[in-house]
Amino acid sequence: MEELEAMTGVELKAEMAKAEGDLADLEEERQAFLGQTGVHIGVGLLNTRRRQYEREEEALRGRIAAIEGLLEDRGR
């Protein structure tokens, strides 16, 4: 969070665009991995990857929310 607070408004907007892009990529990757039907994936691997995707998504959504809060505080 400290690194975000040190950024300018322009840098924050660029960081938000990057985080939103990363989130979109993660969602696409998750759909490709979890939605595949032609390949057997063991339950252990499936659960591990699902938890990994959930942690990464939570971190990205938290970062986006933090950036939005900082931009609102600064009046965009």
pLDDT digits (tens, 9 = 90+) for 31-55: 988 887 777 878 898 899 999 999 9
| Rounded Cα–Cα distance for residues 59 and 53 (Å) | 10
- Tens-place pLDDT, residues 52-75: 999 999 999 999 999 999 999 988
pTM of the model: 0.85
Q: Give the CA angle between residues 60, 61, 65 to the nearest 5°.
A: 115
